[in-house]
Amino acid sequence: MFLSSIQAIAETTTEKNAVVIDQPELTVTYKTEEVGANIFWQLTWEKQGSEKKVQRLKFKALDEQDQSISYPQVKELEERAGWLVEKSFTARSTGQVTLTTPKDQKKLVVSIQMDTLTKGVVGEETIRENTLSVKDSYNLKFLSPTTNEESQEQTVSQETVVLPKSSPLLFQPMGSVKQEYPELYNNKEPQYTNSTSLGTYPTHSWQPDGQTTVINHQGGFEGSEGWDGVKSWDASSDDRTKSYIHYGDDLNNPNISLRKYITETETPNEFKVKLNVRGETTYKPGLDIVFLIDNSASMDVYQDELKDTRKDAAEKVFANIIKELKTIHQPSADNIRIGGEIFSSFRGNEWGFGSSGGKYKFPISSNPADWDKFVSEHKRAYEMGTTFTQRGLQESKDLFDAAPNSAGRKRVLFLLTDGAPNESWKPTVYSENDEMYYDKYRLGGFNMGTKPNYLTGNNLMGSPEVVGNTTKIEPPYGGKVNSHMTTTNSTAWDLKNAGIEIHTVALTISVHLREKHTKEELLKGLYKLATKKADASNNANGESENDYFYHNVKDISDLTGTFKDWFETIARTVDKGKITDPLGDMVELVPNKTPKITSVGNSSTPIASAAMATLDISDPRQVKVNNINLTGGQEIEVEYTVRLKTEDASFKPDYWYPANGQTILEPTPQKSTDKLDFGVPSVKAREQTFTIPVKKQWADRFEGSDNYFQLRPATIKAILQKQSGDSWTDVAEVELTAKNQWQAEFVEVAPGQTYRVIEQIATQKKVTGYHPPSYNQESFTAETLSSEGILITNKLLTTNYSFVKLKSEDQAPFNGNDKPRFTIIHKESNQVFEKNIEPDANGRVALTGLAIGTYKVEETHVPSGYQKMTDFEIKVTEDINENRVIAMVDGSTAEKVVENKKIADFTLILHKVADDLLPLTGAEFQLMGTDYNQTLSDGSDFIFKNLREGSYKLIETKTPKGYQGMDEPLMIEIIGRGEDYLVNMEAKPYIVEYDSVVTNNTIEVTLKNEREQKPSILPSTGSMGRGKIFQVAAFFFLTGIVTTIVYGYINRKRLP
């Protein structure tokens, strides 16, 4: 006894449980026990859910008079308003509750409901009540041991009423036949943080590199705890490997991948939203397909003038569809398995029966060789018999049930028939149901025999075992069943409730001469066999064939296209999918930026134009995408732009607002109720920022020119820092160059902080050769920043230096007009620092404003009578520790004393010679120069004394008689070259020789005078004779040779 605590003998006890609810998510059974004056009703439940889908079970029990009964105390349950309710929402639970009624109460009316708890985008919780598909109450009846012995397991109904014995049907309400649509995936619900001060944003988030006003939800895998942990990546590359939420058993090759993310744009408070959806080839863990192909006699019928029969067309198309399925078959993944049946009326010599020797049934297999055998057998099969579709459906279910390792696999039945059914098994029970067709009854308890030895069909028209050929049943079987469509549809409902998706193809349906149904009635009966699309209308009276997985092929030639459409549906993991994407309350679409959708997948098969998704933005507060069709590697990307409504009265700055409401992908809305969440990003307004202008000012002007010494670096880095306690942290940096006029800006700086700007050159904090920078503001805030920004001033470091110029003979300075003069060159820039600067009365040469570098000091004017000093260098270097520059000569900062050595007077000796180079007297010469003028005569040698360095002009004021004199003055220059002196003269033919290098301060020059030419006297008569002519010619010839030699010798003596 299950009531072991009760010390009594049970008058009747059941040992087996009767089934109340048998669904994937909930099983409820019960059994009864009669003890003394009471009946105990023990209900047992097992609830199966997921961590993402938590539910709460509720029970209510009434007696036969609809009166409440007392509830016991159960640990897991509590009483609320007449219901026994689970105390908390859970993913899974099991338990029992035992109810008690008086012995005479043989029935118990039990209501069972399940509430589901879901969480919205912003974290709010929503409770959906009574989410079970069956809403009716259950009538539990007392289970006698006799009843239990007849059946190991019983199905609960509301009531059983025995009709008159003449009726073959018993009325037995079988509950609602609301079709269940499987959920292929467990929605991986994003998680959000809802903060009063910060707003709402994804809990597990990532942000695009460098973007702070957007935040997106991380990706992850269905069935895996947690998220991918990736917190940032470069969104500018549109990397399509990051932040997807993946669905499917194969983590490396998921069925569906989706993501949604948002990025900043160049326009403040405008954001670009992108949604991606990627598909795959077939659903994983796999797909089982059973082909149920009509092979009745009517398949051997030609259509009009076509050369093919219906069977011929079916053969070709079936072979092609198997060929196509092989292209997406992945043996290692076992993703597709195929089985099937060739059916007619399952009797006599039809294919596979009697003496036909054929095979009509093919178990589900993943081996393409078995598929080919199916194709070959179908091609061989001859057409014969009537259409017993009901048995074909039942045996197809048996094929599915017999397939090994089928847990989680999708099951699809493809029915190809050329006519409505005209045979059935006899039903024994019925219940009224408006969903059924042709009659509004759901039939059951069929007299069909046992698997696999099912009974043959019946025309249900009062002649057992006699086959009819009409779908209409006359007279109605049991007075209620008017059509074989009703029986067949009842069995089809059993398959649908077992999770089998039925696709029906009606091939050139025609009406038999004796058929009483209209063609429209037959077609409706066939489409009602198929699975109703999950998104179809729930109004049975307003539905059409388009609400079902049904194809009405009116012409045989259209069959290929029908199969192609069906294959594409099978090959897609996203089929006619939908996205619903409402905008968040604080955002709106940017009007001039139209949303767009593009294909971005890596698939070798592009998305056909007819299969391309479409956008619907008729509602300005919502973006919808329809007709999403994706197979292996195909992907779409939806893109649109939104803006924050910063003008809204309730808008808050620096506050996260969801960019959207709950965004849903319905991947296969016609086949399942899956609704998969995209992660919803959040955005916030850029903070009320401010701009910091930065400008470098140089104080290095010299001689009217900026950067005279060319000491400025090519680039200076200005660094913005914010104060963090007692330290400073880098925030941003800009470059200052001559090209940008040494000015830049720090933009979009957040207020509310204390900032400063510092300069940096490489690793140094100042420019070499300049004072440390000064700033017009050492620190500032957005409120205290100067209107002109931050000014950084760099002042050139300079120093002074002096040296002393003295006479060597008495250590006295130079006075008068003939002072030494100096030119100072900055060697690095090749700029003149000073030119022709003279010493003061004390001989001191003072140089002020020397910047770092090397300076060459050159004496550019030497006082007369003194030697030129040797150049020397002044080196100016920086003393970083003392923040100064130091000038030194020869490593010393002391004044350098430079002395000019006095030069002894020069003597110029002129030697006067005739053209025969013998001394010649009678000449007079005048020599003139600066502070010098002297004339000498008599003799052949002329000695001019007390000459100084400089230029002189020599004039022959008197020429010896009979000789030619100097036709113009001769310029003579005495030039100092350090401690040596040179003589430079013009090239003249009368200069015989001189030495260009002065030796012992004496200069000797030899000058030649040519004799004057006398005029020729011609004889009055006669001639000179041949001898005289030759003498004259020889004279002139020799004279020319001598002149040339002398002239060349004189030129060699000239100063180079």
Distance between first and last Cα of the chain: 142
948: pLDDT confidence band, cut at 50, 70 and 90? confident
Q: Which residue has the higher pLDDT, 203 or 39?
A: 203
- Of 534, 630, 613, 625, nearest to 581 by C-alpha is 625
Least confident of 196-205, 266-275, 315-324, 769-778: 315-324
Helices 559-571, 310-327: inter-axial angle, 10-degree rounding:
30
Averaged pLDDT, 702-723: 93
Q: Which fold has domain 287-571?
A: Rossmann fold (3.40.50)
Residue 666 has pLDDT above 90, yes or no: yes
Cis peptide, bond prior to residue 475, ω within 30 of zero:
yes
Residue 416 has pLDDT above 50, yes or no: yes
pLDDT of residue 177: 52
Domain(s) labelled CATH 3.40.50.410 in the chain stretch across: 287-571
Residue 435 has pLDDT above 90, yes or no: no
332: pLDDT confidence band, cut at 50, 70 and 90? confident
**CA–CA distance, 954 with 927 (Å, rounded to integer):** 5
What SS3 state is found at 11?
strand
Q: Which residue has the higher pLDDT, 304 or 683?
A: 683
The conformation of residue 584, written as its DSSP 8-state character, comes to P
pLDDT in tens, 955-975: 999 999 989 888 889 999 988
Rounded mean pLDDT of the chain?
85
CATH homologous superfamily for 906-1011?
Immunoglobulins (2.60.40.10)
Options 2.60.40.10, 3.40.30.10, 3.10.20.740, 3.40.50.10470; CATH for 10-159 is 2.60.40.10
The architecture (CATH level 2) of 690-794 comes to Sandwich (2.60)
Residue 880 has pLDDT above 80, yes or no: no
330: pLDDT confidence band, cut at 50, 70 and 90? confident
Instruction: Write the CATH number of the domain with boundaries 192-280+574-683.
Output: 2.60.40.740
pLDDT in tens, 688-698: 789 999 999 99
Domain(s) labelled CATH 2.60.40.1140 in the chain stretch across: 690-794
**CA–CA distance, 683 with 643 (Å, rounded to integer):** 9
> Which runs of consecutive H residues, i.e. helices, occur in 589-666?
none
Averaged pLDDT, 107-125: 77
pLDDT in tens, 125-173: 778 788 776 666 788 888 866 444 333 344 444 333 333 334 578 877 6
For tokens 């059914």, the residue is 421
400's CB contacts (< 8 A; 6+ apart) are: 288, 290, 364, 406, 411, 413, 498, 500
1038: pLDDT confidence band, cut at 50, 70 and 90? low
Q: Which residue has the higher pLDDT, 353 or 791?
A: 791
pLDDT in tens, 340-378: 999 999 988 788 887 677 899 999 999 999 999 999 999
pLDDT of residue 575: 92
Q: Which CATH class is domain 799-897?
A: mainly beta
44: pLDDT confidence band, cut at 50, 70 and 90? very high
- Of 781, 468, 827, 79, nearest to 477 by C-alpha is 468
Residue 256 has pLDDT above 80, yes or no: yes
pLDDT of residue 154: 42
Residue 580 has pLDDT above 90, yes or no: yes
**CA–CA distance, 227 with 205 (Å, rounded to integer):** 9
**CA–CA distance, 588 with 340 (Å, rounded to integer):** 53
pLDDT in tens, 484-508: 999 999 999 999 988 899 999 988 8
**CA–CA distance, 9 with 516 (Å, rounded to integer):** 61
Averaged pLDDT, 819-839: 95
Residue 1054 has pLDDT above 50, yes or no: no
For tokens 């010469």, the residue is 925
Residue-wise burial string across 827-853, b where 16 or more C-beta atoms lie within 10 A, e elsewhere: eeeebebbeebebeeebebebeebbbb
Give yes or no for a contact between 654 and 118, defined as CB atoms under 8 angstroms apart: no
**CA–CA distance, 933 with 953 (Å, rounded to integer):** 9
Least confident of 58-67, 812-821, 1006-1015: 1006-1015
901's CB contacts (< 8 A; 6+ apart) are: 808, 866, 867
CB 236: neighbour CB atoms within 10 A? 11
Domain(s) labelled CATH 2.60.40.10 in the chain stretch across: 10-159, 799-897, 906-1011
**CA–CA distance, 191 with 205 (Å, rounded to integer):** 9
**CA–CA distance, 375 with 353 (Å, rounded to integer):** 18
